[in-house]
Amino acid sequence: MIEQLTQIFFSLLILSGIAALLAFLIEVAHAYIADYGECQLSINNEKELTVKGGSPLLFTLMEEEIYIPSACGGKGSCSLCKLKVVEGGGPVLPTETPYLCQEEIENNVRLSCQIKVKNDLKIEIPEELFLIREFNVKVDRIEELTHEINGLHLTVQNSEEGLNFKPGQYAQLKIPKYTKTKQSEYRAYSIASAPKNKFDIRLLITKVPSGAVSTYVHDYLKKGQDLKMTGAFGDFYLRDSDRDILMIATGSGLAPFLSMLHHIKDHGITRNTVLFFGDKATEDLLCMEEISSFETTLPNFTFKPILSRVKDKDKWKGEKGRVTDLIEKHVVRNSSIDVYICGAPVMVKSCMDLLAKKGIPEECIMFDKFE
């Protein structure tokens, strides 16, 4: 019996080995032998482009200076790079299915980083994406805000206009290839500066263990260095309405709210605005002076920080717990508010569940998940 099981085990092992080898050979053939020649890209039935086949659609469009949102650098994990492939896309790939609902599949929505340009394609792209530009930026300053978050101050170099963005939107920062990466990489970072400052852009970047881009920013990037940045992207931005505003953030999720608060101040907006900010300990609190200044300059602004792991020596007088505790305690059931949530996906999910229980309609809740 044991002998038979061992035989089955080794047969399966050999079969898996052969399958892996074949998959590898197909990839090598695709990369080095397959020549897809020139392909036609028809965009929105308006624009015709002749492009070199063989690369993912996302990168092919980038070469043509058409920038599709992407936070993961084309790894197929953020799902932001969706667009419509009306003709020529072939069947939906297994790497796409986890990110597409049935309605999207029926409407030809695809992940542009997963589809390779192998033949002529007919695609549809939202018009506003044609306004997105790539900028040369210079590192003006790197500021250590906490033990794990740096403020990165960038100056836009090659533009008369600078970066136009709405408060809350994000940019994609591109770093060069270095010892920990195989190629240049880019990731999404919310803009933390005032929209009126189109040439001075600030990002808040949390160091992620073994993270390609965040490690580069924290450990390798130097003042005066040149980088590329693309933007602005995203539909997480401050909406015009008469409702009160509730902002909920953890960690560097504070970034878009600093931009929104500057915008509120610069435009004399008087809506009641509350910022819930949650983190672990007092040393995780960031940009406190800036936030305090809003408490004095904005007539209707309240800041409510909460910490989950304070020690006696911290002499913390504020609230203790998580941001969800603040929702439980301070959000009035069925209140007329616009809620903006930004930070780790689990936090965003917990807040949304609680807000739904409090009767806040889904259409009044906007969020950005840092994943």
116 bridge partner residues: 56
79 binds ligand FES (CB under 6 A): yes
Where do runs of H (alpha helix) occur along the chain? 2-28, 57-63, 102-106, 212-219, 255-266, 288-297, 323-330, 345-357
Q: How far, in Å, are 44, 124, 236, 300, 321 from residue 253 at the CA level?
A: 35, 31, 12, 22, 18
79 binds, among ligand FAD, ligand FES, none (CB under 5 to 8 A by kind): ligand FES
CA–CA dist 220, 257 (Å, integer): 27
279 closest CA partner among 321, 242, 314: 321
Angle formed at CA 242 by CA 236 and CA 246, multiple of 5 degrees: 50
Scanning residues 100 to 129, which ones bind ligand FES (CB under 6 A)?
111, 113
Two tokens, residue 170: 């994000």
The count of residues interacting with ligand FES (CB under 6 A) is 13
| CB closer to ligand FES, 151 vs 234 | 234
Q: Is 55 a binder of ligand FES (CB under 6 A)? A: no
| Closest distance to ligand FAD from the beta carbon of 286 (Å) | 11
Q: Which does 247 bind (CB under 5 to 8 A by kind): ligand FAD, ligand FES, none?
A: none
**What is the spatial distance between Cα 190 and Cα 168, in angstroms, rounded to a whole number?**
7
Residue whose pair of structure tokens reads 């047969």 in the numeric block: 11
CA end-to-end span of the chain, whole Å?
A: 48
> Taking the complex as a whole, how short is the minimal distance between the CB of residue 344 and ligand FAD, in angstroms?
6
- Binding of residue 99 to ligand FAD (CB under 6 A): no
Choices 104-112, 152-160, 186-194, 278-286 (CB under 6 A): range interacting with ligand FAD: 186-194
By the rule CB under 6 A, 150 interacts with ligand FAD: no
- If binding is defined by CB under 6 A, does position 188 make contact with ligand FAD? yes
Is residue 213 part of the contact set for ligand FAD (CB under 6 A)? Answer: yes
- Candidate list 112, 146, 190, 230; residue touching ligand FAD; CB under 6 A: 190
Write down how long the chain is: 371
Nearer to ligand FES, 67 or 294 (CB): 67
List interacting residues with ligand FES (CB under 6 A): 58, 70-72, 74, 76-81, 111, 113
